[in-house]
Structure 1
């Protein structure tokens, strides 16, 4: 449904976007220095310093004696899960960067929480027309390639629980048709990849493959995303092969 699609605002405010991305980095990754924040956002150190100080003022961040910044009280609710997510993200980033170098499209790593999918790592390509960073963004799980991959491994009973009608009683989001979703998830499980054409954002195509940890549990979805005008179905097998190679390398790191 249209309300589930995410569209960049017509009048985006770069400084607000940068501040929100900084808050997300602190919550998901832990410590950040001014230099690291400036490098990640592509802004001047003085600008990064002012933004971090404002986050401190509003309790989104705290600063230690070594002048590093951490998630503040406002962001502490997710602190218990940050270490695992941060480790997964840290291991994935080199593989994402290498994948972007090869395919020349943006790459992402996604995890699932309930019926939502969160992008915990994102690397943009250098093309002028590209899909921007999704890091920290949350979408309905059944609207993203990574979310679909993670839903596909759930037994029927657990899928029913994730999409229990009472969860949507007071929600503005529409509950998906579970019969249709099961059919789609069964196909994704058989083929081992997910293709998302404009479901999370109009004009964007994403292809994803599953990522398993050392115990064989499905923990994330690895995907590449591109403007739909650049998607060619004939290129799909090659993209899937590259994704699977990057995924296998990441899984090797997770096992070790």
Structure 2
């Protein structure tokens, strides 16, 4: 029997449809201006601008110095190992939920591609004041715990290649201080975990460890995050122990 053609939903939401079409165009066709997007969709330039602004906010698009838009980190990461990422998320999610029950704080799983890290799974705790769900969002790798623990697996030369100056010609302010970064990564290697106090967001503290594959390579970073007003340094050891138990459980599942 022939496959049925896809049917347009009876209650299609125009703004969602437009945003998805823009994301597809950026991924498949490359750079676009606001005027080009407006013409392709048949909408006003102001509407096209608002849609693009939301895609930029969610990291599906980025705007360069010439005010054109191109595919953002989420779309770039989507081209890499979809099946492995999906499998990792599926295996890890129950252990994130258990980790949240144990520590009473939110938990996240991240993967790194180059100098960016993407949240592929996120479980919120039940406390009124908590760190919210970041699933699907992309941050600079050196600013989030999962990115830091995977960067710590690289040699000094590999880290410097990731943050080579020529990659930041159009965004020099986004390049981290490498001397400080090397010191931070060395501390993570020594301790076996990362402590992140306000790097990605003021008022948030996170603790993380690497999730390793069968060959010992860091596949992802697992972290717990909490409001800084609730962080107690005396609980750091128990947080690290809980993370260690969760990462080993995920690793066993992967094997």
Normalised TM-score (structure 1): 0.71
Which deviations, in whole Å up to 9, do the C-alpha atoms of 1:75-133 show, x marking residues without a partner? 78525532111111111100000001111100000111111111110000111100000
> Which residue matches 1:160?
160
* SS, match of residue 240 in structure 1: helix
Stretches of structure 1 that go unaligned for 5 or more consecutive residues are: 1-48, 62-70
Alignment of 1:27-176 (within 5 A): 54=14, 57-58=17-18, 60=20, 78-79=78-79, 81-171=81-171, 173-176=173-176
Alignment of 1:229-244 (within 5 A): 229-244=229-244
How many Å apart are 1:74 and its aligned residue? 6.4
Distance 1:55 1:212 in 2: 40
Q: Which has the larger radius of gyration?
A: 2
> Which residue matches 2:180?
180
Distance 2:79 2:16 in 1: 17
How many Å apart are 1:150 and its aligned residue? 0.6
How many Å apart are 1:73 and its aligned residue? 7.0
> Which residue matches 2:217?
217
How many Å apart are 1:54 and its aligned residue? 4.7
Which deviations, in whole Å up to 9, do the C-alpha atoms of 1:140-196 show, x marking residues without a partner? 111111111111111122111101011111115332221221111111011100000
Bigger shift: residues 165-174 or 239-248: 165-174
- Give yes or no for contact 1:210–1:221 (8 Å, CA) kept in 2: yes
Distance 2:154 2:27 in 1: 29
Distance 2:229 2:19 in 1: 42
Paired residue total? 197
Cα root mean square deviation, aligned: 2.2
Stretches of structure 2 that go unaligned for 5 or more consecutive residues are: 1-9, 29-74
How many Å apart are 1:56 and its aligned residue? 7.0
Runs of 4+, deviation exceeding 4 Å:
53-56, 71-77
* SS, match of residue 200 in structure 1: coil
Distance 1:188 1:117 in 2: 17
Normalised TM-score (structure 2): 0.71
- Give yes or no for contact 1:59–1:74 (8 Å, CA) kept in 2: no
Distance 1:86 1:184 in 2: 30
